[in-house]
Amino acid sequence: MMKSIDITSLLSGCKSGDEEAITEFFQRFRPDVFRMALSILDDPAEADDAAQVSLLRALNKLHSYRCESKLINWVYSITLNECRARLRRRHSRERLLHSLFHAYRAHNPSENHPEEQAIRNEGNDAVWLAIRSLPDNLRLTITLRYYHELPIGEMAEILKVSERTVHNRMRTAHERLQAALDERVVEDERDIT
């Protein structure tokens, strides 16, 4: 069992390429970084890959870390950038896939495609569907808030926006989700009362 290293020694060791420090760095931050990547990418395998890449990138950029924010938030920023890049690539692939799918359906109307089946399954969970329909920036904001339970200040730091912007995004996301889930919420209220 490896002993825990204080943050200063950890940074110093990682910068000099110390094996123990690097191992500690990965073990300490990997679970959180994975959760962050998963919440953005919504794909465990890709999140695992993104977490590893993000941690390697953070390790190589440690010399630029100025201790102005929490180390984990700084690593989150790098993870966020990595995941956003992956999302952009994925959206491009999805658009291509969507076009191919429609072209395929035009020629085979009765075929039940696995992607379509998956969408139908997700439809069962109205909340998740509503969350997924949000733009990336709004979805990321409520993910940081409700899944990672980060304070507004740290969210602003990670997203590199002002706290006011975080508030606005939170409000907009709530309004859109509320609109999407309006009927269901009303039903829940009825059930409660």
Give the binding site for another protein (CB under 8 A).
14-17, 19, 22-23, 26-27, 30-31, 34-35, 38-39, 42, 44, 47-48, 51-52, 55-56, 59-60, 63, 125, 127-128, 131, 142-143, 145-147, 149, 151-152, 167, 170-171, 174, 177-178, 181, 185, 188-189
The secondary structure of 126-140 as a DSSP string is: HHHHHHHHS-HHHHH
Between 30 and 101, CB nearer to another protein: 30
In this structure, what token pair is assigned to residue 98?
């969507």
CA atoms within 13 A on the CB side of 169: 22
Output DSSP code: residue 17: T
Nearest to another protein of 20, 101 (CB atom): 20
In the complex with another protein, the residue whose CB is nearer, 15 or 90, is 15
Residue 101 or 137 having the CB closest to another protein: 137
Neighbours of 193 (CB within 10 A): 5
Instruction: Find out whether 79 and 36 touch, Cβ atoms under 8 Å.
Output: yes
In this structure, how many other beta carbons lie within 10 angstroms of the beta carbon of residue 8? 9
Tell me whether residue 95 or residue 183 sits nearer to another protein (CB atom).
Answer: 183
**Whole-number minimum distance, CB 100 to another protein, in Å?**
27
Phi then psi dihedrals of residue 183, to 5 deg? -65, -45
Task: Provide the minimum distance between the beta carbon of 163 and another protein in the complex, in angstroms, as a whole number.
Answer: 10
The smaller minimum CB distance to another protein, of residues 39 and 82, is found at 39
Quote the least distance from Cβ 136 to another protein, whole Å: 15
3-state SS of the chain: helix, strand, coil percent to 5?
80, 0, 20
Integer angstrom CA distances of residue 96 from 47, 59, 174? 22, 35, 30
Distance in Å, CB of 60 to another protein, minimum: 5
Identify the DSSP state of 64: G
Shortest reach from residue 33's CB to another protein, in Å = 8
Minimal distance, residue 34 CB to another protein, in Å: 4
